[in-house]
Amino acid sequence: MSAADLLNLFIAALLLAGVYAAMSVGMTIIYGVMKIVNLAHAGFLMLGAYFVYEAYDRFKIDPLLGVLLAFPVFFFLGMGVHWLLVRRIPTSDQPTLTSLLLLFGLWLVLQNLGYLIWGNADRAILTPRTLSSFEIGPISFPTVRLVVFGAAVVSLVGLEFVLHKTWFGRSVRALMQNNEAGQIVGVNVQRTAQVAFGVGIAFAGAAGGLLAMLYSFSPDFGAPFLLRAFVIIVLGGLESFAGLAVGSVILALAETFIILVLPASYQPAVAFSLLVVALVVLPEGVAGLWNKRRRWA
């Protein structure tokens, strides 16, 4: 394998990492604010994919615009789900049996609604962009991957802006850092949790749309990404957005370069192995390393 091939693989992994980060950030927000692992995340990724697909197929809406539309639609969908289901279960400082099972049930419902509506045939979003690419020297950039990467980065920067410059963002960060202290200084927990859940689902839907531009999908679509999202969050230290980016890059690199040593069919086992390694070596995630350094310094 030549150096150019390795460089190509490396670029592909970095571009993949952008989508991975966008896909995991929704889960991080919901976990941070409510200490709930959103197992239904996979279901919303799948719905996002079909949302963008239907918008393109029926109304000829460009998939990128479809992803933009997915943000408000899934935001209100998430708020609705929170109002209907999530607010009814007791909260705790760590995930409870109840919350895991409730959201798992919701995932089953969403996935099988998908089967009822769209059947189990694989779909794909094909645009003129899908197969085009351009080259700079020996390195080739697939256009669609660049576009998806760009959209993911823009949305993450937007979120970072919201989290640091708005009251809602401050409330979210307060609750993530210390729930009780947040309540004492007057953060409205229920309200913030509902909006945070909406934002989390909005990112799930949009990320599903982005993933749909890269891969074919069926109602079972989200399942492999659920574990990936969680591995990324664990690598990032559960509640750190900077760690999330690092986690995405690590997973994307591992998945891309594993094909050099193992048959591609073993790729689904990579995420799980990485999770085990991460839990043994880095239980506090990459962010834990920084915190330790800070403590020593």
Partner 1 sequence: MEQEAPVGVKQGGDAGRSLLSRYAPAVAPLLVLASLAALPLASPGPNTVRLLFVTLTLVTASVGWNLLGGFGGQVSFGFAVFYGLGAYTAALSINGGIPPGLAFLLGAAVAALASLLVGLPTFRLKGPYFAIATIGVSEAVRVVMTNLPWTGGASGYRIIEKGRFFQMHHYYTALALAALAVGISTLVRRSKLGLALIAIREDQDAASDLGVNPFAAKLLVHALAAALAGAAGGVYARYAAFIDPDGVFAFRNGIAILLMPIIGGVGTIWGPVIGAFVYGLIHEEVVAYFPQAHLLIFGSLLILIILFEPGGVMGLLQTSLRFIRARSSVGSHS
Shortest spacing between CB 252 and partner 1, in angstroms:
17
In whole angstroms, the minimum distance from the beta carbon of 54 to partner 1 comes to 19
Residue 56 near residue 46 (C-beta atoms within 8 A): no
CA distance 174 to 194: 15
What's the min distance (Å) between Cβ of 13 and partner 1?
Answer: 20
Q: Minimum Å distance from CB 65 to partner 1?
A: 31
Considering the complex, state which of residue 52 and residue 226 has its C-beta at the smaller distance from partner 1.
226
Select 6 or 109, whichever has its Cβ closest to partner 1: 109
- Residue whose CB is less far from partner 1, 111 or 179: 111
* Least separation in angstroms between CB 267 and partner 1: 8
CB atoms within 10 A of CB 268: 13
- For Cα atoms 282, 287, 288, give the angle at the middle one, nearest 5 degrees: 50
Q: Between 46 and 275, whose beta carbon lies closer to partner 1?
A: 275
List of residues contacting partner 1 (CB under 8 A): 31, 37, 39, 85, 88-89, 94-95, 97-98, 100-102, 104-109, 111-113, 115-116, 223-224, 226-227, 230-231, 234, 238, 263, 265-266, 268-269, 271-273, 275-276, 279-280, 283
Given phi > 0 = left and psi -120 to 50 = alpha, else beta, which region is 293?
Answer: alpha
Beta bridge partners of 140: 135
CB nearer to partner 1: give 98 or 190: 98
Helices 143-165 + 241-257 axis angle, to 10: 160
Which residues sit opposite 157 in a β-bridge?
A: none
Q: What is the DSSP string of 109-163?
A: HHHHHHHHHH-S--B----TTTT-EEEETTEEEEHHHHHHHHHHHHHHHHHHHHH
Q: Treating both helix axes as pointing N-terminal to C-terminal, what angle do 189-214 and 3-34 enclose, rounded to 10 degrees?
A: 160
Minimum CB separation of residue 279 from partner 1 in Å reads: 4
24 versus 155: smaller Cβ distance to partner 1: 24
* Long-range CB pairs of 178-181, under 8 A, 24+ apart, other chains included: 179/35, 179/93
Q: Which two tokens stand for residue 4?
A: 């150019």
DSSP 87: G
Nearer to partner 1, 6 or 277 (CB): 277
CB of 158 to partner 1, least distance (A): 27
